[in-house]
Amino acid sequence: MAVLDVVKYPDPRLREPTHPVEHFDEGLRQLVRDLADTMFALNGAGIAAIQVGRLERVFLIDGRVAGREDDVPVVFCNPEMIDSGHGISISEEGCLSFPGVFVEVKRPRWVKFRAQDQDGQWFEIEGEGLLARALQHELDHLTGRLLVDMVGMVKKEMIKRKMKRWHASQEGSGGDGDDDAVADDAAPVGA
Ligand code: NI
């Protein structure tokens, strides 16, 4: 079990260009296991590889969020949004890279995605509600798009200040040692 450090805003690694998964090998499976451990440890609805400093186009969504019977994460490699619609939904989102920050984001209510699983098999998934939101949030991560990009100037400055305070609060406390406390905050839709 490996819970990895999550990269927090404004770390420039969150803006790095990502690249497609080409090898569906043991290295990928290890990354997926570590992402799953990290997502569960922080109580996230999803997590993208770039949030642990890896540039593969990979994200995970909690199985229950994805409409499965259990919470075994659904793995999305090289994901694409192939359709969206059914109107617009506005709801609060959190992000594991922005502890304690919640932002109202407008998104299409329904989406359809295609992606490869960790063995390289293509599959499609569609959904509304939290699933649609989590899929779009994670896909945004793969293009470097973050919660702070979805708000006006005033809110953007608020988020920047809040993150500055968060980083200051971490100094001298042993790095990411406060992540457990943060996870409770981020529980609803942190991804
Ligand atoms: Ni996020």
Burial 120-149 (b: 16+ CB within 10 A, else e): eeeeebbbeebbbbbbbbbbbbbeeebbbe
In a domain, 103, yes or no: yes
> Is residue 100 one of the residues assigned to a domain?
yes
| Structural domain contains residue 66 | yes
Asked if pLDDT for residue 55 goes beyond 80, the answer is yes
What pLDDT, on a 0 to 100 scale, did the predictor assign at position 68? 92
Instruction: Say how many Å lie between the CA of residue 37 and the centre of ligand 1.
Output: 16
Q: How far is the CA of 120 from the centre of ligand 1 (A)?
A: 24
- Residue 189 located in a structural domain: no
Residue 186 forms part of a structural domain: no
Cis peptide before 10 (omega within 30 of 0): yes
Domain residue limits at 69: 12-173
Domain count for the chain, please give it. Answer: 1
Interatomic CA distance for residues 153 and 126, integer angstroms: 33
- 121-145: per-residue pLDDT in tens? 999 999 999 999 999 999 999 999 9
Kindly give the distance from the C-alpha atom of residue 131 to the centroid of ligand 1, in angstroms, as a whole number. Answer: 14
CA 158/CA 115 separation, integer angstroms: 35
Let me know if residue 118 belongs to a domain: yes
pLDDT over threshold 60, residue 187 = no
Confidence of residue 45 (pLDDT cuts 50, 70, 90): very high
Confidence tier at 184 by pLDDT (50, 70, 90): very low
Torsion of CA 191, 28, 118, 76, to 10 degrees: 30
Residue in the structure block whose two tokens are 């390289």: 120
Q: What percent of the chain has pLDDT over 70?
A: 91
Enter the tokens of residue 30: 């290890």
Return the amino acid letter for 179.
Answer: D
Token code pair at residue 114: 């295609």
Q: Is residue 182 part of a domain?
A: no
Q: Is residue 80 part of a domain?
A: yes
CA distance 109 to 73: 22
User: What is the CA(90)–ligand 1 centre distance, in A?
Assistant: 17
141-174 residue pLDDT tens: 999 999 999 999 999 999 999 999 999 998 866 5
Instruction: Look up the pTM and report it.
Output: 0.90
CATH (domain of 57): 3.90.45.10
pLDDT at 32: 98
User: Where do the H-state alpha helices sit in the chain?
Assistant: 26-41, 129-142, 153-170, 179-185
Mean pLDDT of 56-70: 95
Catalytic sites, residue numbers: 138
